[in-house]
Amino acid sequence: MTNQPPAPVLLRQPLSALDAWVDFFVQAELPVLRHSVTALSGLQKNADTVNSNEVTEVVLHDPLFTLRTLRYIEAHRSLRQLTDITTIDRAIMMIGITPFFRDFQHLPIIEEQLAMHPQALLGLLKAINRARRAARWAGNWASVRRDMDANEIFLAALLHDLPELLIWLFAPTLALKVNAAQTAQPDLRAAVVQAEIYGISLYQLKRALTKAWHLPELLVQLMDQQHADNPRVRTVKLAVDLARHATSAAGWQHPGIAADLAAIGELLHVNQEVLIRHLDVAPAIAALLTATNPGESTA
């Protein structure tokens, strides 16, 4: 008989204070998507011919796997490592393909953890898809800006809303309450609803967790809206904002999207037509955005 790992603790009530939330998540075993486990297993069967780019692609498809990898690299940091690892491709190269396969086996699976909470699983998967979309946009826009390292911008956008993902995972009942409250009162700011139900600010939780996990300072800054005067931080923020608005109940007709597009166009120094091409959306959405937000040909 094989030993089964203990079932994860799922919270039904908010914890007493920010420190309690931080301690809980720092000690929690982070699951990954079933797709990640399957894809990694497939690569391992051909380990002799696999390159680091293939492994990186699997990791970056999954924000929780990405976080596990960053935490691993920090936990195994050597005294000779003087600089932070701020991208997953560099992390994989630092770990090595064979050690990576060895140390990332038998990972807990998100779909199993939330098997008894199908609505929360759906909410989590939607949030993960939103994070992926924000990351793709942010990375693309960073390349347009000729950023020093677009992969850092991609990673920061992918991880920007990690506290929300963690609460879907470990406090599904509470996450569903927040979702229901936002649906019932869509004009209420999300931060207000979250603070009322969770008893904490997710922004403060993110800052505390990134410190507790010793994430690279550069990534922490890129995810911090208080530094939005920095074009790199603004790239991340605008991508996250647009992804959140576009995936809301209102979709691409969300009232905040016009302001999003104006700010993005200003950041990239492109006109509306060029910007919409960079969004890589379906033709029907592109037509909608062109009709509702006509731009001047300034680029």
**Per-residue model confidence as pLDDT tens digits over 19-58:** 999 999 999 999 999 999 999 999 999 888 999 999 999 9
Give the pLDDT score at 189: 87
Give the pLDDT score at 297: 40
Average pLDDT of the residues in 256-268: 95
Encoding tokens for residue 24? 């809980």
Give the pLDDT score at 298: 40
Domains contained in the chain, CATH given = 32-107 (no CATH), 111-292 (1.10.3210.10)
Give the pLDDT score at 299: 39
Q: Which residue has the tokens 């922004």?
A: 203
What is the C-alpha separation between 299 and 295, in angstroms, rounded? Answer: 11
pLDDT tens-digit map of 13-26:
999 999 999 999 99
pLDDT at 3 over 60: no
What is the rounded average pLDDT for all residues in the chain?
92
Question: Which of residues 224 and 293 earns the better pLDDT score?
Answer: 224
Asked if 119 contacts 95 with a C-beta cutoff of 8 angstroms, the reply is no
Give the pLDDT score at 77: 80
Q: Is the pTM of this model over 0.85?
A: yes
CB atoms within 10 A of CB 210: 21
Asked if 50 contacts 97 with a C-beta cutoff of 8 angstroms, the reply is yes
- Torsion over CA: 74, 62, 137, 200 (sign): negative
Give the pLDDT score at 293: 63
